């Protein structure tokens, strides 16, 4: 299947504006020949300068979250239009840290996905089971629910713009990467859920990224799996040399 490969960095709450700009200058020459698309989700404060620094390179800048409304009395929140104005082209939605620490619900995440599509931001919708849910054999059920609820009311012609990220919560920031087999099995299930919700041909067009302790040493075996179309990388995206190794192994 010829789906576009994507390696997306997720910096979380790391890097000042200057650090972001320096990083992009160091990363650019290392990834010019990359086959994968390079996405970088930087802190809100760095989006404008990072977009300018990324300029005509193949690095695409995005955000890590946003609100579902375009404006309103939501102290501390940010809107899709504000992100677009700064040059963001994509946004991570429903990351497990948003779900677990900030108690975001599937319904709220769904509204954000709808808004992102309306305002021309590529949504990266994150789904994934906790360790407890995996032990209880609930992985398939959890993924199905998160996908169905996250993509509720999204028209078929828009859904191919969505990128899905399978991020098992037990693998995020723990060093416990999923084996390629576990990742493939979960990705295949996610694709089946997309097929059931939309159609097989739509499901086959959607890139599904794996996230959770991705490193230069494990990326090649993960992306060699049929349904793994790239990665969402946290910790290992903070160093330009390590991140470029991941990109160039893809
Ligand atoms: P990690 O994080 O690569 O540090 O495990 C992945 C993520 O949270 O997206």
> CA 91 to CA 93: how far, in whole Å?
6
Q: Report DSSP letters for 233-247, one per residue.
A: ESGGGSSHHHHHHHH
Summarised one tens digit per residue, pLDDT across range 34-47 is: 999 999 999 999 99
| Minimal-distance CA residue to ligand 1 atom 3 | 234
Summarised one tens digit per residue, pLDDT across range 132-154 is: 999 999 999 999 999 999 999 99
**So what's the pLDDT on residue 234?**
98
- When the pLDDT of each residue in the chain is averaged and rounded to a whole number, the result is 97
**Residue 2 predicted with pLDDT over 90:** no
> CA 242 to CA 151: how far, in whole Å?
33
**So what's the pLDDT on residue 249?**
93
Is the CB of 233 within 6 Å of ligand 1?
yes
Instruction: Report the pLDDT averaged over residues 185-192.
Output: 98
**So what's the pLDDT on residue 212?**
98
> CA 217 to CA 228: how far, in whole Å?
16
Contacts of 176 (CB under 8 A, 6+ apart): 170, 212, 213
Angle at 201 between CA 199 and CA 204, to 5 degrees: 110
Position of tokens 């969402």?
232
| Of 44, 47, 57, nearest in space to 21 by CA | 47
| Minimal-distance CA residue to ligand 1 atom 6 | 234
| Minimal-distance CA residue to ligand 1 atom 7 | 234
Q: Is the pTM of this model over 0.85?
A: yes
Neighbours of 65 (CB within 10 A): 20
Summarised one tens digit per residue, pLDDT across range 67-119 is: 999 999 999 999 999 999 999 999 999 999 999 999 999 999 999 999 999 99
Summarised one tens digit per residue, pLDDT across range 199-230 is: 999 999 999 999 999 999 999 999 999 999 99
Local structure of residue 2 (DSSP, 8 states): -
**So what's the pLDDT on residue 7?**
98
**So what's the pLDDT on residue 250?**
87
Contact 57, 26 (CB under 8 A): no
Q: Which atom of ligand 1 is nearest to the CA of 92?
A: 9
């Amino acid at each position: 299947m010829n789906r576009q490969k994507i390696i997306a960095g997720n910096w979380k709450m790391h890097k000042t504006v200057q650090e972001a700009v320096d990083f992009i200058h160091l990363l650019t020459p290392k990834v010019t020949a990359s086959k994968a698309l390079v996405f970088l989700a930087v802190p809100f404060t760095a989006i404008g300068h990072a977009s300018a620094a990324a300029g005509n390179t193949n690095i695409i800048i995005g955000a890590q979250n946003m609100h579902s409304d375009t404006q309103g009395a939501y102290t501390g929140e940010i809107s899709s239009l504000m992100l677009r104005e700064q040059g963001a082209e994509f946004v991570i939605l429903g990351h497990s840290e948003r779900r677990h620490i900030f108690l975001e619900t599937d319904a709220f995440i769904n509204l954000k996905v709808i808004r992102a599509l309306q305002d021309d931001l590529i949504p990266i919708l994150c789904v994934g089971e906790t360790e407890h849910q995996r032990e209880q054999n609930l992985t398939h059920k959890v993924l199905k629910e998160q996908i169905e609820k996250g993509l509720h009311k999204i028209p078929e012609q828009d859904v191919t713009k969505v990128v899905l990220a399978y991020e098992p919560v037990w693998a995020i920031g723990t060093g416990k990467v999923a084996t390629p087999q576990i990742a493939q099995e979960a990705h295949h299930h996610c694709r089946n859920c997309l097929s059931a919700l939309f159609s097989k041909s739509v499901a086959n067009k959607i890139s599904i990224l794996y996230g959770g302790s991705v490193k230069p040493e494990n990326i090649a075996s993960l992306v060699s799996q049929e349904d793994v179309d790239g990665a969402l990388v946290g910790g290992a995206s903070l160093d330009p040399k390590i991140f470029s190794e991941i990109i160039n192994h893809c």
